Amino acid sequence: MEKKRIVILGGGFGGVYTAMRLEKLLKKLPEWEIVLVNRENYFVYQPMLPEVVGGSLGIFDTVSSLRKLLPKTKIFVREIDQIDTQNKKIILAPQFTHKPYELSYDHLVFTLGTVTDFRGMTGIHEHALPFKNLADALRIRNHMIDAIDAAAIETDPEMKKRLMTFVVGGGGFSGTEVVAEMNDFARLLIKKTPSLKKEDLRVVLIHSKDRLMDRELSPSLGEYAGKILQKRGVEIRFGEHLASATPQEAILKSGERIPSKTIVSSVPSSPNPLIEGLDLPQERGRVKSDLTFQVEGSDHLWALGDCASTPHPSGEGVCPPTAQFAMRAGKVAADNIVAAIQDKPKKKFGFKGMGMLGALGHRCAVAELFGKIKFSGILAWFFWRAVYWTKLPGADRKCKVAFSWLLDTIFPAEAVQLKIAPTSGIAPLHFEPGEIIFNEGDIGDYLYIIVNGTVDVLKGADQKVAELTKGKYFGEMALLNQRTRSATVKAQTPVDLLALRKNDFGLLIANFQELRQTIEATEAERSK
């Protein structure tokens, strides 16, 4: 017998805490199963990510295996292609094959979080590094090491300064935390590089308001944070915006240009594009849910965390996009899902927030509790570590992080870099005779160019409609028309191919006039 299914979309704080609570509650309801869909197979402990940039935590210290955290939940590690609320199913992107995967649900929980979206922000989109997830933290760290390594042997003094200038846009929580870690890390790197002088280092934070973390902290603490960073050598440009970026420089709204090879942007995150197209009540791209986390007007859809717009229990505004709210919301949502299944009354969310904590690197932090108690400095920093450490999931994770912190105190972070060769945009492939390259009905994800050999194009039940050889390409029709494959392609001889990803092909064809013309001509011919 097929089980009834609760599907949770997203493995951040909201999703993981919903699933954890459901695992407990569903012991009594064995006919139900929990499925959690997430792009990665791990949960990232976001509040500690800035420490990965600075290196006081190792890469894997901030992540926990989802399967280990949630032993009774089925974990689907996949990209979500489409959410079909009409037919109550989720379409997952293929991996290792070209076939999409369908997943039906009885209850659906939206905990998709937000995404970084620089589209439409000229220059930022192309040249600014985002800071949102683990890969971003690692990329910023690697990029800083590259820049300092290059500066160490640069002979042009102007270029040397450019390489030693680091610009961060946005002085909210994450921007402030990351600039603090970057500043500490850059100074550590320079100290270890004899050919560089610390006078040449510039770390610039650009913030639109007149004090840091203006939305999150009270004025006095925000001002304190700014002073601490300035004392440590960070230049802060208040009342400014990062307007654009090029490979050479950051461009501010006032027109000022800061020569730099490293530009980080921590702009507010955008709603998840998966939600945009859904026929659900929304507010600025977020799904509207009530205080029970039920989506307005539905009895089996739930939304919480950063992707939801839920009223604040105090009656004013909405729940803020923070870990402390998402964790508690997850528990309440799980209780209410089970209440809905059992036809029992649901309970309302009542958490009003504990306060805010922000790390400023170098054993310093700011803290504000219950809107009243404020403190800062090394005491706040110890408090910061203690609070977040206590909340780390699992004894082994706690132990590993404690060891990392201990080791970091004894031995300063090493500036080693994980270099992963850039994947080529064009992948070479080899097929043996009789192997299928793709099937009719598969998702169209690549354009293929034949380097050597012959392929058969088949329709329906193995009816051969064409044969293609060296120098020809195929697979463009599904890409141009956003459709699935209209034919099966099979290797007749051993075949060597080049595969060009759909996105890359799309960029080329949209902008390369000559190429578009020849491909359109071929397609017209083939569609006849």
Nearest alpha-carbon partner for 20 in 69, 55, 92: 69
Angle subtended at Cα 172 by Cα 166 and Cα 174, rounded to the nearest 5 degrees: 65
Site string for a copy of itself, 190-229 (x = CB under 8 A): --xxxx----------------------------------
Token reading at 307: 């992707």
Candidate residues 3, 4, 5, 67; the one interacting with a copy of itself per rule CB under 8 A: 67
Site string for a copy of itself, 20-49 (x = CB under 8 A): -------------------xxxx-------
Candidate residues 283, 379, 403, 481; the one interacting with a copy of itself per rule CB under 8 A: 403
Q: How far is the CB of 403 from a copy of itself (least distance, A)?
A: 6
Stretch that binds a copy of itself, among 3-11, 234-242, 287-295, 402-410 (CB under 8 A): 402-410
343-362 positions binding a copy of itself, by CB under 8 A = none
Q: Which residue carries 């859904």 as its tokens?
A: 278
Instruction: Find the DSSP H helices in 192-278.
Output: 219-231, 273-276
Query: Beta partners for 75?
Result: 36
Nearest to a copy of itself of 127, 237 (CB atom): 127
Nearest to a copy of itself of 451, 477 (CB atom): 451
Candidate residues 63, 242, 478, 479; the one interacting with a copy of itself per rule CB under 8 A: 63
Return the SS3 of 206: strand
Rounded to an integer, what distance in angstroms lies between the CA atom of residue 280 and that of residue 284? 12
Candidate residues 125, 161, 232, 391; the one interacting with a copy of itself per rule CB under 8 A: 125
Rounded to an integer, what distance in angstroms lies between the CA atom of residue 380 and that of residue 251? 35
What does residue 135 show for φ and ψ, rounded to 5 degrees? -65, -35
Stretch that binds a copy of itself, among 72-80, 286-294, 385-393, 459-467 (CB under 8 A): 72-80
Q: How far is the CB of 28 from a copy of itself (least distance, A)?
A: 20
Rounded to an integer, what distance in angstroms lies between the CA atom of residue 110 and that of residue 105? 12
Rounded to an integer, what distance in angstroms lies between the CA atom of residue 143 and that of residue 467? 47
Q: Is 88 in the site for a copy of itself (CB under 8 A)?
A: no
Cβ atoms of 308 and 113 closer than 8 Å? no
Cβ atoms of 187 and 198 closer than 8 Å? yes
Nearest to a copy of itself of 263, 478 (CB atom): 263
Candidate residues 248, 314, 463, 527; the one interacting with a copy of itself per rule CB under 8 A: 248
Q: Is 158 in the site for a copy of itself (CB under 8 A)?
A: no
Q: Is 119 in the site for a copy of itself (CB under 8 A)?
A: no
Query: Beta partners for 443?
Result: 484
Q: How far is the CB of 302 from a copy of itself (least distance, A)?
A: 22
Candidate residues 22, 75, 295, 308; the one interacting with a copy of itself per rule CB under 8 A: 75
CA distances from residue 158 to 22, 92, 200 in whole angstroms, order as listed: 58, 49, 10
Nearest to a copy of itself of 381, 438 (CB atom): 438
